[in-house]
Amino acid sequence: MDHFTPLSSLLGGAMIGAAALLLLAGAGRIAGISGIAARLLPPGGVADALPRFLFLLGLVLAPLLYAAATGRGFAPVMQAHGPLLLLAGLLVGFGAVWGNGCTSGHGVCGLSRLSVRSLVATVVFMAAGFLTVWVMRHV
């Protein structure tokens, strides 16, 4: 929160919304990152692997392109070690499969379509995130 700027946050949110809208309008697909990534793995469909791969590549390249375009670098800070990050990643992946969608699918696309299921999922994963941070910092 040290570098929070409302304008860049608004612009970033608008860009995420525009990308989700373009994917829905252009391909009829929900921009759920876990679903896009999961369908790259077997037994996923090979027919549309290139667009999925390019979408995920864009997620990785976007911050690098931003840093190159603005001259402002970034240094992610990891406060956890490898085993904890691995466990967290597995739990998130399990939750995305179990919840039939991820934070981007439910939180961005589902809520904008007024999906009650996505509202419940978003409330649950946000509450779980808040609780996890509280436990990790105070217990």
Going by C-beta distance under 8 Å and a sequence separation of 6 or more, which residues neighbour residue 15? none
DSSP classification of residue 115 = -
Rounded Cα–Cα distance for residues 52 and 41 (Å): 11
Give the three-class secondary structure for 36. Answer: helix
Residue 54 Cα distances to 50, 57, 64, 81, 138, angstroms: 6, 5, 15, 29, 41
Task: Express each pLDDT in 75-97 by its tens digit.
Answer: 777 778 889 888 888 888 788 87
Q: Who wins on pLDDT, 109 or 43?
A: 109
Q: What are phi and psi of 76, to 5 degrees?
A: -60, 140
Q: What is the mean pLDDT of residues 109-126?
A: 89
Q: Which conformational region is residue 114 in: left (phi greater than 0), alpha (psi within -120 to 50 degrees), or beta?
A: left
114: Cα separation from own chain's centroid: 19
Task: Express each pLDDT in 40-73 by its tens digit.
Answer: 877 766 667 888 888 889 888 988 888 888 887 7
